[in-house]
Amino acid sequence: MSDARRIHWKWIVIAAFVAEATVLAIFFLLLFAATAAGVPEIAQPMTPLDYVDAVVMSFLSMLVVTLWVGKRIETGFVLHGVLIATVAILLFAALWSTTGTLMQPFWYVVAHGFKILGGITGGLLAERRRRRAPA
């Protein structure tokens, strides 16, 4: 079977959607918490807290969903992690395009890099876990 047939696109798309939804959910949770604390301005879009959330959660959500997908596949763990991150970046770009521009703030672009790193890290950990699992 060719490598293209071993790519589990269904899991990639689902995982990318879950990862992006998680990043957005955490952002809205922070915004809600800041509003409840009486300081909503610190959690608005494109503020330092938003940027930290974008970078950290991009890495962590991609790591977690890649590990999750790693339980459902047999090979190509790092490839799947990178593909999940790439689809997640495309999903965010589609969402961002509704703002009328494709130009994103610098820290959002950095967060996309961290998505790729999270996918690679998750893939490496999933591969390591697979090798250690008893046959």
Domain ranges of the chain: 7-132
pLDDT of residue 1: 46
Nearest Cα residue to 53 out of 72, 39, 38, 34:
34
Cβ neighbours of 133 (radius 10 Å):
8
| Average pLDDT in the chain | 92
For residues 13-40, one letter each, b for 16 or more C-beta atoms within 10 angstroms of the residue's C-beta and e for the rest, the string is ebbbebbbebbbebbeebbeebeeeeee
pLDDT class of 45 with cuts at 50, 70, 90: confident
Lookup: tokens for 125: 């950990």
Is 101 strand, coil or helix? Answer: coil
